[in-house]
Structure 1
């Protein structure tokens, strides 16, 4: 009996360590007017959260981030950022897990303007009231808590490919 309980407990611990954080996956960015702007893949690598655009609404997938600066502090890949494709580049980077579904301490770059912001991401589970569907609160700040939030919605591969 004790052996069975121990195996069950160990399995639960291992599963919880390997389980994906709810922020991971495909998300559709939505602006303040409720219009979709892009599709993003949010992922964790070596305990750090990243986000890459996988499709831009209204632009070709080979568009270059010419409005970006040539470099940004702690940018996760080498090269001149303003010569990189918008799709496939980690515009969200350096976030660390505060708690399940909560990440902070990193940055987000707006590749269409070149602006960089401190970034916080919070997963908001669908509750049928304020959040009708699973939502990511994407908070960009310039410092001292000054900034704004966008609310992104979960997406599927089929939506991206359509």
Structure 2
């Protein structure tokens, strides 16, 4: 009985972990499919944020020249690019995503496609007008 309980507990812990967006994700260039950056998603008080923790393309010590406000000329490494995301069923909504190359900020939602693939949609106005990327979980 004790072994069955332990097996059930371990199985549930893996299932819950696999359903979370928390962790590290690799992004890829839309045109070349080259690995672009490593992003870390965190959760604080039911709000999810994401920041760049490593760049694979470009200068390591570059700054966000085109960003506005408090992010202007801040280092890309450590820059928070997703803010205000809240879990809503199987999706994560109501947040924003920053494109550090253009400085533009878009509405954003996230959705796990499977345990290791995250759909990231940035859009203006209605969700139909925007761009989708797929991030891969860092193992």
Q: TM-score range by the shorter chain?
A: 0.7 to 0.9
* Runs of at least 5 residues in structure 1 that lack an aligned partner in the other structure: 1-7, 72-79, 127-133, 157-162
State the alpha-carbon separation in 2 of the partners of residues 63 and 148 from structure 1: 24
How many Å separate the matches in 2 of 1:104 and 1:35? 27
Corresponding residue for residue 131 of structure 2? 148
CA apart distance, 1:27: 0.5
Look up the SS of the partner of 1:55 in the other structure. strand
* Aligned position for 1:27: 25
Are positions 1:61 and 2:50 aligned together? no
The two structures have a TM-score, normalised by structure 2, of 0.80
The structural deviation recorded for 1:31 is 2.7
Select the structure of larger CA radius of gyration.
Answer: 1
Q: Give the deviation of 1:107 after TM superposition.
A: 0.3
- Please list, as runs of the form range in 1=range in 2, the aligned pairs for 1:66-105 lying within 5 A after superposition: 66-69=65-68, 71=69, 80-100=70-90, 102-105=91-94
Deviations 1:101-123 (A, max 9, x none): x2010000011110111000001
Q: CA deviation at 1:57?
A: 1.6
- What is the TM-score normalised by the length of structure 1? 0.70
Q: Distance in 2 between matches of 1:48 and 1:125?
A: 21
Secondary structure class of the residue paired with 1:144: coil
- CA drift at 1:54: 0.7
Structure 1 counterpart of 2:35: 36
The corresponding residue for 2:119 is 137
Residue deviations 1:75-101 (CA, integer Å, cap 9, x gap): xxxxx211211111211000111024x
CA distance in 1, matches of 2:66, 2:56: 17
- How far has the Cα of 1:125 moved from its partner? 1.0
Counterpart residue number, 1:5: none
- Residues paired across the two proteins, number: 125
